[in-house]
Amino acid sequence: MIIENLLPHRYPFLLIEKLVEHRQDEIVCQVDWKKSSFFHDQDGNLLFVSMPEMLAQAAAVMYGIQATEKTPAIRLLTTIKEFFFYSLPEESILQVKARVHSSLGLHQVVYGEIYEGERLLAKGMVYLFHREKTE
């Protein structure tokens, strides 16, 4: 599966490297954040603020797989809620686990966790706005 077919992001903004696992309302993706200098500071450390974006991109891949239309609908990250940052990664490869939490109007609420191996780096929720197609 080609991730670029499911996300509008391209280098240097594309974080998701590959799909690891997918179920109906749950996904696990791999991220290699060191591929782009856009997501780290001048010392080479990952910027905490990029972690909610990792979660939003993983959710977008999940929704892209579920899409019935040829081109998946674009969702916009509008809210970051109850996001907890525990540690910065030491390695470049991370696992992002995302699952649908609920819906709130035109928003899908996605809960996720970001791991480096077995070590939890961050967890929280993002709200993704999706306007249904109208004719």
For 46-56, how does the pLDDT look when each residue is reduced to its tens digit (9 = 90+)?
999 899 999 99
Q: Is 24 helix (H, G, I), strand (E, B) or coil?
A: coil
Q: What are phi and psi of 9, to 5 degrees?
A: -70, 145
More confident residue, 11 or 135: 11
Question: What letter represents residue 9's amino acid?
Answer: H
Q: Which residues pair with 23 in a beta bridge?
A: 26
At the fourth CATH level, the homologous superfamily of domain 3-129 is Hotdog Thioesterase (3.10.129.10)
To the nearest whole number, what is the mean pLDDT of the chain?
87
HEC readout, 53-95: HHHHHHHHHHHHHHCCCCCCCCCEEEEEEEEEECCCCCCCEEE
Q: Which pLDDT score, from 0 to 100, does residue 88 have?
A: 93
DSSP strand pairing (16-23 vs 26-32): antiparallel
Q: What angle do CA 77, 24, 104 make, to 5 degrees?
A: 40
Cα 129 to chain center, whole Å?
A: 14
- With cut-offs at 50, 70 and 90, classify the pLDDT of residue 89: very high
Q: Which pLDDT score, from 0 to 100, does residue 132 have?
A: 60
Q: Which two tokens stand for residue 107?
A: 């928003």
Q: Which pLDDT score, from 0 to 100, does residue 53 have?
A: 93
Can you tell me the distance from the alpha carbon of 16 to that of 29, in angstroms, rounded to the nearest whole number? 7
More confident residue, 99 or 103: 99
Rounded mean pLDDT of 23-37?
89
pLDDT exceeds 90 at position 130 = no
- With cut-offs at 50, 70 and 90, classify the pLDDT of residue 134: very low
Q: Which pLDDT score, from 0 to 100, does residue 72 have?
A: 60
